[in-house]
Amino acid sequence: MDRYRRHTMAKIPQQTQVPAAPVPVVIAGALVNGKENYLTIGAYGIMSIQPPVVYISSMKAHYTNTGIKETGYFSINVPPAELVRETDYCGLVSGRETDKSCVFTAFYGEKRLAPMVQECPINAVCRLTKTVELPNNDVFIAEGVP
């Protein structure tokens, strides 16, 4: 074991930011002022399987946050590789200035709580249960809606 310890590299001190790694993105869908809007999200995850609890983290300035806070619902949509251009577009352009409702084909569950993306193979509607306000982001914690 000693021979391995001698050859380890010195630790690099941490910078003020966390290490980043490539992660898949999701598309969050929400109704904002009664209109479908979509936002590309890279900071999301599953917090619990039973009950199903997820989170998304979105910069406070994003237009979609307004709809999530007003309605209490959003959708999570997992885009296939074929939607890379549309997914990128939804992360670059604000719904405040641009109508993103026509980027995807919207569909709804029975209760019409949040728009989902027909072109995505995986979709879920989520009910907001808690908002954690960070200095620059809103973290939306939500339960999956059956």
Concatenate the DSSP letters of all residues of 6-60 into one string. HTPPPPPPP-SS--------EEEEEEETTEEEEEEESSEEEEETTTTEEEEEEET
Q: How far apart are CA 30 and CA 75, in angstroms?
A: 7
Nearest to 114 by CA among 27, 46, 44: 27
C-alpha pair distances (Å), 79 with each of 76, 90, 103, 113, 121:
10, 12, 13, 20, 7
Rounded CA Rg of the chain? 18
Q: What is the pLDDT of residue 23?
A: 79
Query: Whole-angstrom Cα distance, residue 29 to residue 67?
Result: 9
What distance in Å separates the CA atoms of residue 138 and residue 146, rounded to the nearest whole number? 24
Quote the pLDDT of residue 44. 95
24-144 maps to CATH 2.60.40.1730: no
What per-residue confidence (pLDDT) applies to 19?
Answer: 65
pLDDT at res. 89: 97
**What does pTM read for this prediction?**
0.85
Bridge partners, 139 (sequence order): 57, 132
Task: Write down the pLDDT at residue 21.
Answer: 72
Every domain of the chain and the residues it spans = 24-144
pLDDT tens digits for the chain (146 residues)? 555 555 566 766 666 666 667 778 999 999 999 999 999 999 999 999 999 999 999 999 999 999 999 999 999 999 999 999 999 999 999 999 999 999 999 999 999 999 999 999 999 999 999 999 999 999 999 999 98
pLDDT at 5: 57
Determine the pLDDT at residue 26.
97
